[in-house]
Structure 1
Amino acid sequence: FNEPYIFSINGYAIGAFAPGRCSSWQQYNCLGGDSATEPYIIGHHQILAHAATVKVYKTRYQANQKGEIGLIVYSNWFVPYSNSQADQNASSRALDFSLGWFLHPLVHGDYPPIMKSLVKDRLPKFTKDEISLILKSYDFIGINYYTSNYARDDPNFASQKPSSLTDFRATLTTDRDGVSIGPKANRSSWLATYPEGLKNLLIHTKTNYQNPIIYITENGYLDYDSSEVQKLIRDEGRVTYYRSHLNALHESIKAGVRVKGYFAWSLLDVQEWSSGYTVRFGLVYIDFKNQLKRIIKDSAKVAPKFPDHLKIIHTNPSMLLALSDSN
């Protein structure tokens, strides 16, 4: 699966994606649903379906094909809003309710303890046979990372109607005291450049999830569509974004994270799932009104120059990774 968290939350907690389900009290114009239970049920069955698929591949095909199989998870990094212990705990909870929701069962055989404590009987349980099935059901973990948030403790959520978006009892924001956690991508409401978040997320995964082989399967920067094509092609913001995140990746590998590959989102401007053609993430500009003409952006031109100024970070031949020099 790719991003089971997004499918569970957007499809069954807020109803923004198909099948458009959520609790009626949220007033999202959903087609029925229960934001307090359905996201967890859907997430649970995605984990089981993933593990069953992995078992089939490993028992029937892997020996002959020599392939690898894994799960791709989406997560932001969460920075405590203040130095208080309450906000530090809030950032930890936010991470366990996103990254941990799907990684913890695969690595440790059950949901994070804090999820079990706060969600209680609304969180499905794994049987003994299911635990055996899901444990170590991966050769690698894919991580999609774009940005980070501040997390602030909010105990008031405990007294509100339950939802998978409030069960972790924290408020998430990109700003603190009117200052963004990082430069906003073209005044985006959600995407702030925060490369330290990628490094911290990877080190957290190494430390808490038995240092798996990791692929960065999505990492990207948005531009809003515009008639000023030259501004979209001269995408210095995207160049800066990728260089800073590759440097953060460099630091995480030096810290022992086993990163085996990195994929930019995306090679081409494409239809984005919830934004259509109104935003562009590509390294290559696509003229959707002129027979899909391609124009190379400045960010794409950086790649051919990499061999002149790269550092090979890993000495293990199976883990070679070339990253841009900070210069």
Structure 2
Amino acid sequence: MGVTGPDVRERRITFDQPVLVDALIRAHRRGPGDPTHRRLGPGHWLRASRTPQGPVLLRLAAVGASVSARAWGEGADWALDQLPQLLGTDDDPAGFEPRPEHAALVLAQRRYPEIRIGRSALVWEALAPACLEQVVTGKEAFRAFRLLVTEFGEPAPGPAGDPASAAYGMRVPPTAAVWARIPTWRFLAAGVEQRRSATLVRAAGRASALERTLDGENRAADRALRSLPGIGPWTSAEVRQRAHGDADAWSIHDYHVAKDITYALVGEPLDDAACLEILEPYRGHRYRVQLLLSLSAARRPRRAPRMTLPTHTPYATKGRS
């Protein structure tokens, strides 16, 4: 590790294979306007986060198997120490083998043999936006996250305060305690109805306990997450994908995912039950299948009209949770 000044840490890590930083970091970004993530170019990202040691602004630049990182803030050392996990070094693809009849998956693995599943080790960072994304379109959820983090988060450390910097204006997400104190009317103003805001606020009270799920098995983490009111299989999977690096946590009950997976593998968009059956041979790696196909498979044709964006008034809540 190098230290270039009192407020910045630097580190260069060389991995044993090329690192797909864009795919790994994009998984944590909540839409193109996310104030906590900013893409500067291929393999080049800014990430504002809240670590157990405090806020951090992380700047990553990857070329092949080499990743250069700079970090500012109280959480700088923690973020740099955890960086290999974030970039997938703990992921073990052993036992994953695409079936010959699933040609799209065979081709995806050939195209991205180096893909790994990262682990942020930050459960609350993944859970808060996942609660906002329940039962609504991504566009509305991303807008709500952007508005709430901009208002209730804090400026990211280091160059985020410099108008001449590419990091200018970036924000660190609120703590669980701050999320819990956001008034209902501010959630409503951001387009978040009480069902989602109540789930988020209740979960905030268990944030510390949920962080401890990182020390156990993924199945135990799933049980702990789903024991909270309002958190179902989809939300649990979204959290475990990002925070725990769970290679089996596919996005069941998502509006699109099962249809996209089955279309890629068998040529027909099918429901969750059918997708579960098709994915059974890949148990232990079902999220790996989802990730690989999302990177390379042909997109399923969208023939139905787009979902309309709901308002903050009550509406049907059948769907992912």
Both structures adopt the same fold (TM-score exceeding 0.5): no
Could you state the TM-score of these two structures normalised by the residue count of structure 2? 0.30
- Rg bigger for which structure? 1
Could you state the TM-score of these two structures normalised by the residue count of structure 1? 0.29
Structure with more contact order per residue of length (Cα contacts < 8 Å, sep ≥ 6): 2
